[in-house]
A and B are shown apart, each in its own frame.
Chain A
């Protein structure tokens, strides 16, 4: 079956512009995560959606970052007034209803954002 799909795969933008990154999780997965991977770094948690519960936004680095998930499926991560330090790969992941045994995350291939 289809995996986690992210678009665009690459985005180049000018400083100060807004960008939207899209994630389409695996069908039937109720949990969706956004992570950010800066050059040479590990992944940094941004936000987590689980079903109809309020999202966990504790990882969002500033109020320029927001995300929504419509209809419990597709999610959009929005970065307003982009800065050069926002340049990174933004990875989306999904899981079925939380499995305490492993909780494996299924990742997409990421959206590479470059802010000039």
Chain B
């Protein structure tokens, strides 16, 4: 089974609207972390937001929030008030404690977001 599943290969949203990018994950590890990264056309990966499996509250960073539903194993990214500069590929990723030290992340296949006027 896929460890990280992103079912939306492409999404469109109008400027100033909110958009939700879906991510589900699969792990038997009780301790894990979930990440979202943005990859613009320039290619570099930009960290957006992090959620730990034991965190009681959903993570928020500016216009980004992570809708963490642990029982459903879902970690959707919500971008509020979309801007043209948000157009990029978005990756969900997971770090599992049992994979050992460090930040070995398993990534999903990504969602290409296009913000339109």
Q: Do A and B bind each other?
A: yes
Query: Within the complex, which residue of A45, A50, A101 is in contact with B101, where a contact is CB–CB below 8 Å?
Result: A50
B57 close to A (CB within 8 Å)? no
B84 close to A (CB within 8 Å)? no
Q: How many A residues, CB 8 Å from partner?
A: 29
A65 close to B (CB within 8 Å)? no
Residues of B within 8 A of A102 (CB): 33, 50
Residues of B within 8 A of A71 (CB): none
In contact, B47 and A104 (Cβ under 8 angstroms):
yes
In contact, A107 and B91 (Cβ under 8 angstroms):
no
B4 close to A (CB within 8 Å)? yes
Query: Within the complex, which residue of A33, A44, A59, A109 is in contact with B42, where a contact is CB–CB below 8 Å?
Result: A109
Residues of A within 8 A of B100 (CB): 56
> Top 3 closest A-B pairs, CB basis?
A42-B107, A107-B45, A43-B107
